[in-house]
Amino acid sequence: MQTHLDMRRINTIKEILLKLKLGDSEQTIQDAFDEHVQPLGKTDILLILQELKNSTANDFNMNDIRKFFDVYLELYDHSLQVIHDPNEEHPSHPIQIFNRENQAFASILDRVNSLVEAIANDPGHRTDQLKHEMIQLGKIYSHYNRKEKLYFPILERYRIYSMSRIMWAADDRIRTLFKGTKRIMEKMPDIDFHYVKQAYFDLENACREMMLEEEYLLLPITQSIFKEADWLAIAKESKAFGYAVDEPEETWIPDEALRNKNTEKQSDTPNEEHLQFGGGYLTIKEANHILNNLPLELTFVDKNGIFKYFNEIVESSEMMFIRTPSSIGRNVAMCHPPKSMKKVMQLIQDLKSKKRESETMWFKKEDEYVHVTYKGVFDENGEYLGILEYVQDIQPFLDLTREVKRELR
């Protein structure tokens, strides 16, 4: 049994956390640390702490976890956070970017806090700077999107599931608080500033709690578990979701990965074997290029609910629905926010059972009208193979001249 799933270990560390929460000194609980905590590896301790933090009982917040870290450091003279890897010192390494973003958010929150207090004390104080800082804080969306679409899938491959579900739900709550705070601020000065102040403080508290959770749990856990190939995948795919700080001047690539890449280029030869597709024959290379030239974004989820394929008609950052290789192999239920899981699972069940042949929807995204279709895929014997999703920008059809539209009727 994995240590972090050992209930005896979890309950023992829970008791230690409760004692710290109640104010017991480190001297009174040193024996418990020596017996139950010190023998464990850092990774196991971190995973147990995240299990306790994410438990439904909500017994602990990040200040309680931080206190545990402080006592561990005081007793054993080394931190649970420090998991050193020379590669991570590179300024373009995902860990460095992640930390710089959180430092930027902390500075923005400090400035907004000061502005809110200034306006509360002087109603005549200008509010334009406050609104500007809130726009800067909105870059937190890129930070969370990268975490949810790149870090979480890799965590799930290592069978760490609860962290992504609970943390994603908390991210969604922060997004909701951000939207609400921004809407209230837009009503200034025609609204009692008390409501603005309260909305902002709720947002600030949620953001700072998440920043602590990322600093004390997410990053140390990923540092202790992820392999170099995982970090390389994150580095390569991060641009698709954007950055909350300046985009790195160069993508971090470790020397060994660069050598392997050059070797692959020299030995890579296209597969010219012809295979039967539909009514004819294509090589794998031809089939791949055909799929990548269709004016549709295609995604396929297999019969087991595993995200298995997407075509690449444009760069990931330009897709209507951003897809990157890190999500391949992920259960489709985990690819969506926790709040949408029920709807997603119902749609899959309806398509699988043929209750619905397909489902379509559309929405406006900036200058695009995005049309989405979900369709159940079955073989010639009626056996369910999975679900095909195809996404299309229908704005060009809406832009057709009236004369062309009339001829098409």
Give residue for tokens 């489902």: 359
Regarding the domain delimited by 86-241, which CATH topology (the fold level of the hierarchy) does it fall under? Four Helix Bundle (Hemerythrin (Met), subunit A) (1.20.120)
User: What percent of the chain has a predicted confidence (pLDDT) above 70?
Assistant: 92
pLDDT at 278: 84
pLDDT at 1: 38
Query: Where along the chain do its domains lie?
Result: 3-76, 86-241, 274-398
Instruction: Classify burial at 141, counting beta carbons within 10 Å of its beta carbon; exposed 0-12, middle 13-18, buried 19 or more.
Output: middle
Which of 223, 96, 211 is closest to 144 using CA atoms? 211
Q: pTM of the full predicted structure? A: 0.83
What tokens does 118 get? 């200034």
More confident residue, 272 or 81: 81
pLDDT band with cut points at 50, 70 and 90 for residue 203:
very high
pLDDT at 4: 57
DSSP 292-340: HHSSSEEEEEETTSBEEEE--SS-GGG-SS---GGGTT-BGGGGS-GGG
pLDDT at 216: 95
Average pLDDT estimate for 283-306: 92
pLDDT band with cut points at 50, 70 and 90 for residue 407:
low
Residue 268 has pLDDT above 60, yes or no: no
CATH of domain 274-398: 3.30.450.20
Give residue for tokens 């609204």: 191
Q: Are 139 and 108 in contact (CB under 8 A)?
A: no
Average pLDDT estimate for 297-318: 91
* Rounded to 5°, angle at Cα 235 from 229 and 237: 100
| Euclidean distance between CA atoms 252 and 235, whole angstroms | 6
Highest averaged pLDDT of the listed ranges 32-46, 199-213, 309-323: 199-213
What tokens does 348 get? 């899959």
Average pLDDT estimate for 221-247: 92
| Euclidean distance between CA atoms 275 and 120, whole angstroms | 71
| DSSP E strand stretches across 185-322 | 274-277, 280-283, 297-302, 307-310
Residue 403 has pLDDT above 70, yes or no: no
Q: Are 210 and 156 in contact (CB under 8 A)?
A: no
Average pLDDT estimate for 263-286: 74
Q: How many C-beta neighbours within 10 Å does residue 359 have?
A: 15
Average pLDDT estimate for 47-59: 84
Q: Are 164 and 155 in contact (CB under 8 A)?
A: yes
Residue 262 has pLDDT above 60, yes or no: no
Three-state SS at 376: strand
| Euclidean distance between CA atoms 263 and 110, whole angstroms | 49
Instruction: Classify burial at 99, counting beta carbons within 10 Å of its beta carbon; exposed 0-12, middle 13-18, buried 19 or more.
Output: middle
pLDDT at 368: 77
What tokens does 290 get? 């055909």
Average pLDDT estimate for 368-373: 87
Residue 343 has pLDDT above 70, yes or no: yes
> Could you report the per-residue pLDDT of 165-174, keeping only the tens digit for each?
999 999 999 9
What tokens does 121 get? 């004390």
Please, what is the average pLDDT of the chain?
A: 87
